[in-house]
Amino acid sequence: MDDQLPEPLRTVEHELTTLLRRGRTVSWGLVKEVHPHLEPNSYGLLLWLRRSGSTRLTDLATRLGVGKGTLSRQIRGLEALGLVRRDPDPVDRRAAQLSLTEEGQRRFDAARGTRLDELERSLRDWPAEDLTEFARLLRRFNGSWTPERG
């Protein structure tokens, strides 16, 4: 079957697998910089909270593609570590708005700074047009890729 796939598709699969493996390794190290007791998959969650400022659990679960129960468990762990807080939603008092605490933001920003420095070093020699195109294609890919889970 592999021989029947177009070479560009096989190359994308290989490079994506490499990228995901490296990304997972980097994220595991980064979460330990944020807090030694964080779960490895917390980096993406913290990044979304940092970028959104404040968001509802249901909106975050939809954006991340995880169940509300799974996300709620992760949020409770982050709250226990003092990295995330829940505030009443001003529109719907039954719901809560999630955001990073000041400590969570400080720790996340310090760890993220390390990651961004490494990324900048890796891409330093890329022409600006290539970097812009790479970002555009990644955004397009992430917006269109919806893996099926069986």
Model confidence pLDDT, tens digit, residues 95-105: 889 999 999 99
The pLDDT of residue 109 is 92
pTM score: 0.73
CA pair distance 37, 39, nearest whole angstrom: 7
**DSSP reduced 3-state for 96:** strand
Determine if residue 55 is left, alpha or beta; phi over 0 gives left, psi from -120 to 50 gives alpha, anything else beta. Answer: beta
Nearest to residue 107, comparing CAs of 30, 23, 29, 27?
Answer: 30
Residue 127 — very low, low, confident or very high, per pLDDT cuts 50/70/90?
very high
Residue 150 — very low, low, confident or very high, per pLDDT cuts 50/70/90?
very low
Q: What is the pLDDT of residues 85-96, one digit of tens each?
A: 999 888 887 888
Matching residue, tokens 């909270």: 49
All structural domains of the chain, each given as residue ranges with its CATH number in brackets, are: 2-144 (1.10.10.10)
